[in-house]
Amino acid sequence: MQRVRTAPPRYWLVAVVVIFFVGFPTVISSFLASEWAQALILAIAIMGLNILVGYSGQLSLGHGAFMAMGAYISAILAHQYKVDYLLTIPVAAVTTGMVGFLFGVPALRLSPLYLALATFALAVVSPSIIKRPHELTGGVQGILIAQPDPPPVVGDLFTTVTGTAMTSDQWIYYIALACALLLFWLAWNLSRHRPGRAMRAIRDGEVAAAASGVNVAGYKTLAFGISAFYAGTAGSLFGLSTGFISPDTFPVSLSIQLLVGAVIGGLASIPGPLLGAIFAYFLPIGSNQWVPSQTWLPEQITSTVKNAGPAVSYGVVLILIMIFAPNGIVGLIRAGYANLNRRLRGAGDRETGQIPPDPQTV
């Protein structure tokens, strides 16, 4: 019998990454910190999608709609009922999670294809549904969200380290980082224990999983609920970091961006969503800024590329990754590492030294 081996968690690497993200805002500008905060928020939403798509094998193209829901719950609570915004984040997360759980019930009956179709329709329709109750959601005008000032303790600590006062953007970065760390830790635990194993079993063979006593319906809806919980948290934080939400903050392309991030990073992996989020967030920004900065190109071309660049680069990357590296960046790194290991150890003990290649996850 072949023993299933996974790479042992490398705690030193995790520590390096955490220290990097904690220290990062002290060396970059406040504006860059707010960009990285959004990348982290995207990472949370992508982790949610990763749990659903990567682990439980259900495809959702409508996670932007769950993000919108989380953002609007927080914004309405803070704006209309004057609740402290930070307190609304868990409320938004739990409510969205419950809605996701309920959404998972009819989703059980659908084949993956129909589920993709229904969630895609949800993503397309959600902006026009949000506009409807405009006394609640502000209609097209959206809702302004006041960004909180850092509490004195944290602000003073930051000032002693960097010598400058902490801006609210930097404070929001740390809120996002704290949420991301907590949720990634939860996802890591989830993936290693009973629910994670059950979900993967369902993904790889529903009938076999059911025959082995896995509660297929329960875990599938649970995956939907958890995934919406993540998306709701991310949406709520997203509103906080942009300071303004409107129906057009959550277009279909946001749902696509989430999917791109999940796929590029590597499905069914814990570091994948983080890598994918950084890539998916900075790819359009990069392609937006690089081309227009080339002054030798005629104005017309640069303005078109500014508009079309993100879509084209997303499309190309998505297709190429799916064809050539279905396990994403993480898959590539693992394959490269295994390859290197094999070469270093020589051909003699090739059978014992390598990590078995991951099965295709999608």
- Give the binding site for other proteins (CB under 8 A): 53, 57, 59, 61, 106, 109-114, 116-118, 120-122, 124-125, 128-129, 131-132, 207, 252-253, 256, 259, 263, 304-305, 307-319, 322-323, 326, 360, 362
Shortest distance, position 313 Cβ to other proteins, whole Å = 8
C-beta of residue 181 within 8 angstroms of C-beta of residue 15: no
Shortest distance, position 7 Cβ to other proteins, whole Å = 24
Q: Which is nearer to other proteins, 91 or 110 (CB)?
A: 110
Q: Which is nearer to other proteins, 210 or 335 (CB)?
A: 210
Q: Which is nearer to other proteins, 124 or 332 (CB)?
A: 124
Q: How far apart are CA 71 and CA 245, in angstroms?
A: 8
| Residue appearing with tokens 């300071």 | 243
Sequence-distant (6+) residues with CB within 8 A of 105 are 221
Sequence-distant (6+) residues with CB within 8 A of 284 are 257, 309, 310, 313, 314
Q: How far apart are CA 296 and CA 277, in angstroms?
A: 32
Shortest distance, position 169 Cβ to other proteins, whole Å = 30
Q: Which is nearer to other proteins, 25 or 284 (CB)?
A: 284
Shortest distance, position 351 Cβ to other proteins, whole Å = 29
Q: How far apart are CA 6 and CA 356, in angstroms?
A: 8
Shortest distance, position 157 Cβ to other proteins, whole Å = 43
Shortest distance, position 113 Cβ to other proteins, whole Å = 5
Q: Which is nearer to other proteins, 155 or 326 (CB)?
A: 326
Q: How far apart are CA 145 and CA 131, in angstroms?
A: 17
- Number of helices (H) and strands (E) in the chain: give both, helices first: 16, 2
What Cα–Cα distance (Å) separates residue 127 from each residue in 67, 224, 249?
12, 21, 9
Sequence-distant (6+) residues with CB within 8 A of 163 are none
Q: Which is nearer to other proteins, 56 or 242 (CB)?
A: 56
Sequence-distant (6+) residues with CB within 8 A of 191 are 51, 55, 268, 270
**What is the token pair recorded at 310?**
């993100």
Shortest distance, position 59 Cβ to other proteins, whole Å = 5
